[in-house]
Amino acid sequence: MKITNAKPFFPNKDIDSILNDIKDSLRTGVLTLGPNVEKLEREFADYVGVKHAIAVNSGTSALEIALRYFELNGGEVIVPTNSFVASANAVIFAGGKPVLVDIKKETLCIDPNEIRKKISANTKGVMVVHLAGLIPPEMKEIQEICKENNLFLIEDAAHAPGASIDNKKAGNLGDVGCFSFFPTKPMTTGEGGIITTNDVKLAEFSKIVRHHGKEGGLHTKIGYNWRMSEINAILGIYQLRRLDEFLVKRNHVANRYAQELNDLKNLTLISVPSNIRHSFWKYPILLNSIKASHLEKIFREKYEIALGTIYFPPIHLQPFYKEKFGFSSGMLPVSEDVLSRETCLPIFADISEEMIDNVIKCIRMELK
């Protein structure tokens, strides 16, 4: 049975409605920054519990816009090394310097103690990544660190739409939240992203710079084409309305994996505190006896099951970062060890019980 690692899901009923709405949009001739983009922004802001949501064309664009607002001017932003490279790249594009720090092995998320160690006179802010959809359990501590040191706090919530801690949703825990709607994320617009904030000035800045810095017919700022199209927004409207339903299914899959694999001594599962709702974009496990790449090869060739990774090598061991910033092996040891042993089991909104059974059976066979 061939099983992918992640995929989008559009119920047939939604597909028919989406196509009708796209036809209506095509007839109007308004294909970007129109009523559907505005509708998605309103509904997403209401869902997250913030005053403003600004739709853009990717999660990376969301990060860069948010970072540009804080006028880095060479300042440093602390970023976990365990993230997609776009998290750190956005800091560079926005005129800053990413300071990469290590993670906690228990969560794969940024370690607050490492944040404290790296704060300097040049530090402007902290980027926290809700890895795989898990908001760091130490989120309150991270908020306090930022407040004590007068640092902005950006949530890279690319993996975490719908995730929450103490009943407060991702995207409403810092100065600004940045989401990705890439096809495999818990909800998708095909390509796209969104910025969430309660700061009206940040919201106004974001709307201007996503449209080439255009304000009232004049170009008042340096901007770029970071707009979301109407067609992408239509997809997002329907996906958002299904998001809670999708997360129920993802949590069901995660619970089955946890219940049926927790007795295996050759792997370690990531526990989720009871006050956190995980969005489970991915389901990471840590292997205690073999490298992740070895198990991934076995599953690909023997079972036709795709396992994934988030992320190896970590950012600081990517060639550009080694050359540009002088990183080398051994500098962030927790990430280097843990991520070489981390892989992700298949999880998506329409995965079948038969598929879940098969993944569990194969994992138990290989790691018994």
Same domain membership, residue 336 and residue 297: yes
- Tell me the CA end-to-end span of the chain in Å, nearest whole number: 21
Out of 210, 238, 266, a domain closes at 238
Give the pLDDT score at 217. 87
User: What is d(CA 197, CA 364) in angstroms, rounded to the nearest whole number?
Assistant: 44
Whether 211 is covered by a domain: the verdict is yes
Out of 187, 208, 238, a domain closes at 238
pTM score, two decimals?
A: 0.96
CATH of the domain at 258: 3.90.1150.10
Same domain membership, residue 97 and residue 35: yes
Q: What is the pLDDT of residues 297-349, one digit of tens each?
A: 999 999 999 999 999 999 999 999 999 999 999 999 999 999 999 999 999 99
Q: What is the pLDDT of residues 160-174, one digit of tens each?
A: 999 999 999 999 999
Same domain membership, residue 196 and residue 53: yes
Give the pLDDT score at 348. 97
Same domain membership, residue 119 and residue 216: yes
Same domain membership, residue 302 and residue 254: yes
- Domain of 80? 12-102+109-238
Q: How many domains does the chain have?
A: 2
Out of 180, 206, 238, a domain closes at 238
Give the pLDDT score at 289. 86
Give the pLDDT score at 162. 98
Residue recorded with tokens 């047939």? 12
Same domain membership, residue 251 and residue 152: no
Maximum CA pair distance of the chain? 66
Same domain membership, residue 320 and residue 292: yes
Handedness of CA 132, 134, 136, 140 (dihedral sign): positive
CATH of the domain at 168: 3.40.640.10
Residues of the chain with pLDDT under 50: none
Give the pLDDT score at 328. 94
Same domain membership, residue 274 and residue 176: no
Give the pLDDT score at 344. 98
